[in-house]
Amino acid sequence: MGNHRRPLTKESLGVDVVTVGMPTVIYAAALARNAFAVLAARDGSAPSEDALDGMEREPFGQEIGEMIVTPLEIDAIVEDASAITVSGINRALHPSLSDVEIIYLCGFGGKLEVPAELDNYPVTSIGGSGLSWRDRLTSVVIPASVTSIGIGAFAECPANLTLTVGRDSYAAEYAAANGISYTYSDANDWLYS
């Protein structure tokens, strides 16, 4: 195995790049050491650092090597950590955005209303994969100003995702052509799919 991915650098992307790393794995020996320390503390004893080092080496010695583990809920942890990181970056780079706008842009919650205008410019497109992999996204309101929706814009979103679109709009055509449930913004209970 090896890392065969292209680097995400200014040279490869043509723009400045900010990288943020989050540990998502732990050495099993470190996990065991912490467990030994917690169990000992419950019994009222406090093992020395040397004793903890010995406990760490004993079960995880040369026989099994360096075992690395991840928590069962790693996907949810990564999703939440990513959303928190992205919202922090958006807050720093776009101080004029409201908390609601940042929440929408960062994918928290199930409902999103795409604004018809941002910073006095019309919103005319949703980029390819722009809203993909939002497993909590259930409702998106798309204004008539949107005349382009990229490939896979809603890929891997929940099956109950519903777009609210204008009649005879590009978004309505897109939803119908891509099998995405939609309703018209001027309708109450009519659902098409």
What pLDDT shows up at residue 2? Answer: 54
| Percent helix, percent strand, percent coil in the chain, to nearest 5 | 35, 15, 55
What pLDDT shows up at residue 1? Answer: 40
pLDDT in tens, 168-177: 999 999 999 9
Q: Are residues 81 and 63 in the same domain?
A: no
Q: Are residues 97 and 115 in the same domain?
A: no
Q: Are residues 121 and 189 in the same domain?
A: yes
Do the Cβ atoms of 33 and 60 come closer than 8 Å? Answer: no
Q: Are residues 187 and 114 in the same domain?
A: yes
Q: Are residues 117 and 153 in the same domain?
A: yes
pLDDT in tens, 3-30: 667 777 888 888 888 777 777 888 777 7
pLDDT band at 97 (very low <50, low <70, confident <90, very high): confident
The last residue of a domain, from among 79, 108, 137: 108
Give the structural domain span for 82. 71-108
The last residue of a domain, from among 92, 108, 124: 108
Residue 163 lies in a domain: yes
